[in-house]
Structure 1
């Protein structure tokens, strides 16, 4: 069709021209995305680390509370007398087969040992092939120790009818540091009505 004013055929636009993004724009876009993804990866790593810290603290709290509750159960069931709930060497320990709870940090065991009480020196003793404690085939089984965990039980007599029980569990932090979690409870002598 002719252009009425000039009498020429109008020229068509060049359809062969290249359009889109340049390689430089693509490189810049990839750099921006890479920085964003690295930031996301760092935040995920931080979240996992915090989650592991929370899990370690929760598990450690459960160990402390179970040890403190065990003391109450030992007294309530009369498996140990009030006098026997003491550290090794305590002058008020009393008589009997129970030697007391060792002082210092001990490995935390999944087995209570022959005395049936967690936190004592015999927790890692395995009955051996005959499955009877006190025979010659008994041995110390270190696989029963929970890796990285240690427990200390300190029992202080405040009066003849009241004891302070402090349980400290040492556990590894995901950062590689050792942390201590301390729980304190007071145990009274249920045989008397006067607790002071």
Structure 2
């Protein structure tokens, strides 16, 4: 057994007995290598630091199992890699969730594009015909993206008043479109921004 592996095994043995000095020594020995590896994968300095901390935290928490580990270096790298891939997996899930919530402009054929533009114009006309307060609430909701409680606070109204106003506005806009023979689900009106 080479001296390097033996030293690592000895450090793991000491750490398993609760030796904090051995833990610090192992920490200083491996942090530069683990940091370089994690940064190559993550490409984010603060997340890399979090991964290093989590790796050594797991080592300390699992110190009673360290005596059985034959390849300390491989074990540490495996923990750090696991932390990196866990982070990347969570980021991928987060990005997919955000992408699914982000409204995407639909791709239309020229005829559909004209219909869409006409409908958007008619929604604008219907909004202009709303009573002043209803129009203001609708525009705060659609143009500024404010939520009902935010609109209520901004206009000194109750959230129920704002919600009822939005429902009546959408009903009025839908009625305007229905008169023109444009039958669209309420969800389309909700997503359609001027």
Q: Which has the higher helix share?
A: 2
Task: Give the structure-1-normalised TM-score.
Answer: 0.29
Q: Which has the higher strand share?
A: 1
Task: Give the structure-2-normalised TM-score.
Answer: 0.29
Larger Rg: 1
